[in-house]
């Protein structure tokens, strides 16, 4: 939470994820060994992924989606709120936005803005239910958001049948595809790659910057972090914690609404049964990995996406089930949580020692000198 | 001053103990001989090295130099279990008990008597009752710990240590959590233990208590033993001067600065607990500009509730007025913005963000005020500059304002909080134990700051367990008992003893 540049602190911060990745590497290798799968070939295949332009595009695109999800979770985390419901929030948001977007016909930038606004508003309201339940009835947001996920699934299934059209060439159903004015073109960011990067990546970068500014530079952000650090101290300092809970849930939900946007606006153009699900849970893992830090989350999202993408060729090239990647992701998250806690404790102890040391070696204060001469 | 080596009735002997941490010498040539069957007190300011010394004796840390002898044999402990083996047990300041287990279960936890692999409850009960009755501890083994009061919990902790066969007990600040009656009971227990031949090492910085209970007192200053004295031949002032190493200031206020302008007026404040028991009942008072109103009372008689009601952290019936305005419906933030400063009773729970830097803690409680903010934005520069001012003016010992608040000692944290709350020219100060945990030198400085602000018109509500502080600083004292004011006391004509008896309801006239 401190602002100054301090190389020792940065090194310590990087130590935890580095340890976690090494640990995950070892565990995964042991699993491969136990299953009798080729260890060296597997790692070679996974590493090769990073040198293929097409794969890089895929990684960046998934990471963009993960980034929003993790950011939404992180807003809650910074206040000790566990928004497990990002999943239901974004799906309900993107479904409604896809449907509304297919009904209207307005000029391009406005059309996209309306879609994004609808998604954010619906997701925010859905998350807000959990916030209101918490402050008025004391319902744990963990329980209510999980339940709201189920309700969202049911509602989407129900309403999709009402508004859906068959997706051509399959037995899938989805909302009417968005007209051209509601689509966002991609960017050719990766040289030699046949795939374009979602245009929405720009919004991801802006969201990261906005998150950082909001939390670190504003009064609201200070109140939010103070509540996360110590609710009792926040109350004594004049923070209206109930209000903060509702606002944070709304904010977290609004960001969750962005999760489905890159895919909807840049690739799928409609909400169908095949629309990516479960991204909210990935967000929880990535927020943990990135320590709720906007840059940390970006790195975490890229790493996660990398592992996801590298799972595909494993089956084909070396005959190893792609689930090995899921195991690795799981081990990374578990060990990173442990490592962060160890580093955190070490840092507090280290700082106390450093303060004690610097104080004893410092020259006496005027008062001490006075006492000594008295 | 050096102990007589190898004397037969010496239970514990520490010789030349030195412990260095990177860059710091926590203990330097400490020499203490504790006589068997004595209560031996170790006193010193916060940070003087008492805790490190006890950790060494209890096997939690190893000394760099020096030796420990228990019952004449040199020992070397590498863990607390070694210490227990040798008959040394420790009762920690913060209790380590499981609330949802019974007394019996807590006592035997970790060293259960077994029969055929199962807990032998009969045997456990027999031993606990035996210990309990022979030392007059009087605890019911079947009661749930969560239903016990603080004094009883402490007895369970003592029982736990005795159950493990300790003959030498270390008590770390045992009275910090007790009310005066419980302190009396504890001292009665200690005398009982003593008469059974046990040895007690009693760590404290409450000098009057030490004088009451100890047979020998060792004073530690800056990590080293400066004197061992007989309580019969010394007094609290002399001890305090040994602790600080210089002459003591006194909290006395010189001239009255009370005006006729009411600043804080409270009328009919009433609050009930969930079970209908009154926590505050019809509390009313007026504090004028330049006046210090002291509230005396045994802790837990409504002081915390009163403070939280005035700060807007609790809903209560009744009216609170700031100057001419009714602020009863105001939020905590609005009250703070109106100039009510707040030094909380529990600085870790209510006063600080421990894992945030000092300059961020400058903002806490003043999130909407200069120089911390600029519109909706945090003014880092302003907050940092002002934090540095507090550090300088209030002599907060810290290498920088970028360290976590948790890195500072308790006394320095307190100084920072006082400095922060005195910033921005408050009109009313709600000060709960403003010098708690602060060493004697810093205490005087805080008193000075309060006195100066009072001269400039600050109205202060002072709550303190330190009766000398209360009498010395207050213009008026009200005594609170079970949520009601039971007496008004004139601080100019009252002794701490009289005040103390009024607080327990004895001899008080409403």
* Contact between B407 and A365 using a beta-carbon 8 Å cutoff: no
Q: In which region does residue B458 sit, left (phi positive, over 0), alpha (psi from -120 to 50) or beta (all else)?
A: beta
- Beta-carbon separation of B335 and A238 below 8 A: yes
**Among chain B residues, CA nearest to A223:** B367
In this predicted structure, what is the pLDDT of residue B389? 94
pLDDT of B505: 65
pLDDT above 60: residue A2: no
Tell me what pLDDT residue B249 has.
54
Mean of per-residue pLDDT scores for chain B: 84
- Establish if A202 belongs to a structural domain: yes
Sheet containing strand B88-91, edge to edge, reads B88-91, B168-172, B199-204, B39-43, B216-221, B224-229
Region for A342 from its dihedrals, namely left if φ exceeds 0, alpha if ψ lies in -120 to 50, beta otherwise = alpha
Nearest in space to A163 (alpha carbons), one of A243, A235, A236, A270: A270
CA nearest to A345, candidates B318, B400, B321, B404: B404
What local confidence, expressed as pLDDT, does residue A372 receive? 43
Residue pLDDT, tens place only, A325-342: 888 899 988 888 888 888
Q: Residue A92 CB: number of other CB atoms within 10 A?
A: 29
How many separate helices (H) and strands (E) can be counted in chain A?
A: 15, 2
Query: What separation, in Å, do the N-terminal and C-terminal C-alpha atoms of chain B show?
Result: 51
> Given a cut of 70, is residue B3 above it in pLDDT?
no
Record: contact B407-A361, CB cut-off 8 A:
no
Q: Is B117 helix (H, G, I), strand (E, B) or coil?
A: coil
Coil/strand/helix, residue B67: strand
> In this predicted structure, what is the pLDDT of residue A208?
95
- pLDDT tens per residue, range A230-263: 999 999 999 999 999 999 999 999 999 999 999 9
Q: Which of B507, B450, B99 is nearest to B251 (CA)?
A: B450
Q: Where are the domains of chain B?
A: 10-244, 249-339+426-510, 351-424
Name, in order, each residue with C-beta under 8 angstroms of A171's C-beta and a sequence gap of 6 or more: none
pLDDT band at B4 (very low <50, low <70, confident <90, very high): very low
Most confident range (mean pLDDT) of A57-66, B256-265, B365-374 is A57-66
Q: Look at residue A322 and tell me whether its pLDDT is greater than 90.
A: no
Helical residues (DSSP H) of A104-183, grouped into ranges: 108-137, 141-163
Contacts B387 to A, Cβ<8 Å: none
* pLDDT category of residue B254 using cuts at 50, 70 and 90: low
Q: For the residues B497-509, what does the mean pLDDT come to?
A: 65
Cβ distance B30 to B225 under 8 Å?
yes
Question: Is the pLDDT assigned to residue B427 strictly greater than 60?
Answer: yes
Other CB atoms within 10 A of residue A179 CB: 15
Residue A216 lies in a domain: yes
How large is the ipTM?
Answer: 0.83
Q: What percent of chain A has pLDDT over 90?
A: 55
Q: What whole-number distance in Å separates Cα of residue A15 and Cα of residue B468?
A: 51
The shortest C-alpha distance from B145 to chain A (Å) reads: 26
User: Residue B118 gets which letter from DSSP?
Assistant: E
Q: Residue A72: which residues within 8 A CB-CB, separation 6 or more? A: A83, A86, A89, A90, A252, A253, A255, A256, A258, A259, A280, A283
- Determine contact: A218 vs chain B, CB below 8 A: yes
Whether the bond into B371 is cis, omega within 30 of 0: yes
> Tell me, what's the pLDDT at A320?
85
The pLDDT confidence band at residue B25, using thresholds 50, 70 and 90, is: low
Chains A & B: contacts with CB separation below 8 Å: 136
| pLDDT value of position B1 | 41
Provide, as residue numbers in chain A, all residues whose Cβ is less than 8 Å from the Cβ of B399: 354-355, 358-359, 362
Contacts for A352 with CB less than 8 Å, ≥ 6 apart: B406, B407
Structural contact between residues B453 and B291, judged by C-beta atoms closer than 8 angstroms: no
Of residues B313, B360, B364, nearest to A1 (C-beta):
B360
pLDDT digits (tens, 9 = 90+) for A271-281: 988 899 999 99
Q: Which residues contact A189 (CB under 8 A, 6 or more apart)?
A: A57, A60, A196, A197, A201
Number of H helices and E strands in chain B, helices first, is 16, 24
Cβ contact A221–B344 (<8 Å): no
Contact criterion met (CB < 8 Å) for B397 and A239:
no
Taking residues B44-64, what's their average pLDDT?
Answer: 81
Q: Above 90 in pLDDT, residue A220?
A: yes
Mean pLDDT, rounded, of chain A = 88
Q: Which residues contact B54 (CB under 8 A, 6 or more apart)?
A: B42, B90, B170, B172, B201, B203
- Residue A204: its pLDDT value, please? 95
Lowest-pLDDT choice from A109-123, A192-206, B49-63, B108-122:
B108-122
Closest of B242, B228, B224 to residue B65, by C-alpha: B224
pLDDT score for B91 = 86
**Whether pLDDT at A63 is above 80:** yes
Q: Which of A102-106, A199-203, A318-322, B291-295 has the lowest mean pLDDT?
A: A318-322
**What pLDDT, in 10s, does the model give residues B101-135?**
888 888 888 777 777 777 788 888 888 888 888 88
Judged by DSSP in three states, B265 sits in strand
How much is the CA Rg of chain A, to the nearest whole Å? Answer: 24
**B353: nearest CB among A226, A358, A371:** A226
How far apart are the CA of A254 and the nearest CA of chain B, in angstroms?
Answer: 21
In a domain, A138, yes or no: yes
Pick the CATH number of B249-339+426-510 from 3.30.160.270, 1.10.10.10, 3.40.50.300, 3.10.20.30: 3.40.50.300
* A37/A40 Cα distance (integer angstroms): 9
The pLDDT of residue B244 is 66
Over residues B429-455, mean pLDDT: 84
Q: Of B378, B395, B399, which is closest to A222 when you measure between CB atoms?
A: B378
Contact A222 B363 (CB under 8 A): yes
pTM of the model: 0.75
Segments of A163-254 assigned E as strands: 165-166, 173-174
Looking at the domain assignment, is residue A7 inside a domain?
no
CB A311 within 8 A of CB A322: yes
Rounded to a whole number of angstroms, the distance from the CA of B11 to the nearest CA of chain A is: 33
Q: Is the pLDDT of residue B176 over 80?
A: no
Alpha-carbon dihedral B451, B453, B457, B462, rounded to 10 degrees: -60
Contacts of B285 (CB under 8 A, 6+ apart): B265, B266, B293, B478, B485
| Cross-chain Cβ contact B402/A2 below 8 Å | yes
**Cα–Cα distance, A34 to A115 (Å, whole number):** 49
Using a CB-CB cut-off of 8 Å, the residues of chain B touching A237 are: 332-333, 336, 364-367
Confidence category of residue A362, pLDDT binned at 50, 70, 90: low
Show the domain range for A286. 67-291
Residue among B465, B445, B336, B357 at smallest CA distance from B401 = B357
CA torsion sign for A33, A37, A41, A47 is: negative
B431 confidence band (pLDDT: 50, 70, 90): very high
Q: Does A370 touch chain B (CB under 8 A)?
A: no
CA atoms within 13 A on the CB side of A276: 19
pLDDT > 70 fraction of chain B, expressed in percent and rounded: 92
Please give the Cα distance from B410 to B264 (Å, whole number): 30
pLDDT in tens, B215-239: 999 988 877 888 898 988 888 777 8
Q: Among candidates A115, A75, A68, which has minimal Cα distance to A94?
A: A115
Q: What is the CATH number of domain B10-244?
A: 3.40.50.300
Residue A336 belongs to some domain of the structure: no
Task: Report the alpha-carbon distance of residue B63 to residue A197 in Å, rounded.
Answer: 62
Mutate which: A355, A357, A366, A368, vs B, most B CBs within 10 A:
A355
Using one digit for the tens of pLDDT, what is the confidence trace for B68-100?
998 888 888 888 888 888 889 888 877 788 888
> Into how many domains does chain A fold?
1
Q: Is pLDDT larger for residue B57 or for residue A122?
A: A122
The answer to whether residue A240 neighbours chain B at the CB level (below 8 Å) is yes
pLDDT at B266 over 70: yes
Q: Residue B510: pLDDT band by 50, 70, 90 thresholds?
A: very low
Q: Is residue A12 part of a domain?
A: no
Does residue A373 belong to any structural domain of this protein?
no
CB contact under 8 A, B354 and A4: no
Chain B positions in Cβ-Cβ contact with residue A3 (cut-off 8 Å) = 357, 380, 402
Which of B353, B402, B406 lies closest to A233 in CB terms? B353
Please state, in angstroms and as integers, the Cα–Cα distance from residue A146 to each residue in A94, A136, A140, A259, B151, following that order: 18, 18, 10, 18, 44
Bridge partners of B67? B15
Nearest by Cα to B160 from B191, B181, B131: B131
CB contact under 8 Å between A217 and B377, yes or no, is yes
- Which residues are B200's β-sheet partners? B39, B169
């Amino acid at each position: 939470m401190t602002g100054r540049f301090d190389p020792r602190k940065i090194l310590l911060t990087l130590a935890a994820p580095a340890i976690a990745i090494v640990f995950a590497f070892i565990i995964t290798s042991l699993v491969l060994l136990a299953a009798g799968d080729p260890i060296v070939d597997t790692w070679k295949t996974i590493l090769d992924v990073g040198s293929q332009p097409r794969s890089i595009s895929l990684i960046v695109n998934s990471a963009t989606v993960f980034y929003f999800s993790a950011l939404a979770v992180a807003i809650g985390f910074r206040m000790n709120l566990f928004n497990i419901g990002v999943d239901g929030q974004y799906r309900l948001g993107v479904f409604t936005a896809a449907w509304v977007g297919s009904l209207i016909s307005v000029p391009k930038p406005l059309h996209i803005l309306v879609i994004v606004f609808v998604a954010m508003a619906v997701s925010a309201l859905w998350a807000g239910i959990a916030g209101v339940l918490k402050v008025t009835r004391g319902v744990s947001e963990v329980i209510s958001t999980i339940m709201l996920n189920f309700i969202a699934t049911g509602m989407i299934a129900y309403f999709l049948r009402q508004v859906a059209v068959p997706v051509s060439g399959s037995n899938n159903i989805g909302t009417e595809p968005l007209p051209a004015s509601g689509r966002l073109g991609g960017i050719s960011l990766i040289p030699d790659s046949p795939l374009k990067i979602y245009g929405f990546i720009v919004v991801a970068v802006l969201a990261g910057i906005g998150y950082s500014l909001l939390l670190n530079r504003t009064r609201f952000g200070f109140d939010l972090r103070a509540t996360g650090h110590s609710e009792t101290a926040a109350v004594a300092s004049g923070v209206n914690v109930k209000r903060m809970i509702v606002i944070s849930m709304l904010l977290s939900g609004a960001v969750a609404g962005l999760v489905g946007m890159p895919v909807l606006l840049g690739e799928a153009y409609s909400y169908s049964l095949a629309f990516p699900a479960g991204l909210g849970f990935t967000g929880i893992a990535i927020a943990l990995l990135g320590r709720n830090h906007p840059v940390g989350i970006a790195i975490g999202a890229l790493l996660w996406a990398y592992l996801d993408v590298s799972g595909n060729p494993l089956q084909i090239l070396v005959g190893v089930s792609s689930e090995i990647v899921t195991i690795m992701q799981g081990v990374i998250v578990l060990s990173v949580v442990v490592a962060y806690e160890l580093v955190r404790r070490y840092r507090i102890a280290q700082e106390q020692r450093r303060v004690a040391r610097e104080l004893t070696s410092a020259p006496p204060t005027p008062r001490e000198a006075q006492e000594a001469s008295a | 001053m050096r102990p007589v080596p190898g004397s037969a009735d010496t239970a514990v002997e520490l010789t030349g103990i030195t412990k260095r941490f990177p860059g710091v010498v926590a203990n330097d040539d400490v020499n203490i001989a504790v006589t068997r069957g004595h209560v031996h007190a170790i006193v010193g300011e916060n940070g003087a090295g008492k805790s490190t010394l006890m950790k060494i004796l209890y096997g939690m840390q190893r000394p760099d130099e020096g030796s420990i002898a228990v019952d004449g044999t040199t020992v070397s402990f590498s863990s607390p279990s070694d210490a227990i083996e040798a008959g040394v047990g420790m009762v920690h300041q913060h209790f380590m008990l499981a609330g949802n287990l019974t007394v019996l279960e807590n006592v035997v936890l970790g060293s259960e008597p077994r029969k055929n692999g199962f807990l032998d409850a009969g045997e456990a009960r027999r031993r606990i009752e035996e210990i309990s009755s022979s030392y007059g501890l009087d605890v019911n083994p079947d009661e749930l710990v969560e239903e016990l009061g603080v004094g009883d919990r402490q007895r369970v902790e003592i029982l736990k240590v005795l159950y493990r066969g300790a003959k030498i007990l270390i008590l770390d600040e045992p009275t910090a959590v007790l009310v005066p009656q419980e302190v009396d009971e504890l001292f009665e227990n200690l005398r009982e233990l003593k008469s059974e031949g046990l040895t007690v090492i009693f760590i404290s910085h409450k000098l009057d208590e030490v004088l009451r209970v100890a047979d020998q007192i060792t004073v530690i200053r800056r990590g080293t033993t400066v004197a061992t004295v007989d309580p019969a031949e010394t007094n609290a002032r002399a001890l305090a001067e040994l602790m600080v190493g210089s002459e003591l200031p006194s909290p006395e206020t010189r001239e009255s600065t009370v005006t006729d302008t009411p600043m804080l007026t409270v009328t009919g404040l009433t609050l009930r607990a969930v079970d209908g028991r009154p926590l505050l009942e019809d509390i009313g008072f007026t504090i004028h500009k330049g006046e210090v109103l002291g509230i005396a009372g045994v802790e837990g008689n409504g002081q915390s509730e009163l403070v939280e009601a005035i700060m807007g952290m609790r809903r209560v019936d009744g009216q609170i007025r700031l100057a001419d305005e009714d602020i009863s419906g105001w939020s905590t933030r609005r009250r703070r913005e109106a100039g009510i400063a707040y030094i909380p009773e529990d600085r870790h729970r209510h006063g600080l963000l421990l894992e945030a830097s000092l300059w961020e803690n400058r903002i806490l409680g003043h999130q909407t005020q200069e120089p911390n903010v600029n519109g909706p934005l945090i003014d880092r520069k302003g907050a940092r500059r002002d934090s540095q001012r507090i550090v300088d003016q209030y002599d907060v010992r810290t290498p920088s304002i970028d360290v976590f608040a948790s890195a500072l000692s308790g006394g320095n944290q307190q100084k920072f909080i006082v400095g922060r709350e005195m910033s921005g020219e408050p009109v009313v100060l709600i000060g709960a134990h403003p010098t708690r945990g602060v060493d004697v030198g810093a205490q005087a400085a805080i008193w000075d700051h309060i006195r100066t602000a009072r001269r400039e018109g600050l109205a202060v509500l002072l709550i303190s367990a330190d009766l000398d502080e209360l009498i010395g600083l207050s213009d008026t004292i009200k005594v609170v008992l079970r949520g009601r004011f039971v007496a008004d006391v004139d601080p100019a004509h009252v002794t701490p003893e009289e005040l103390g008896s009024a607080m327990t309801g004895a001899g008080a006239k409403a």
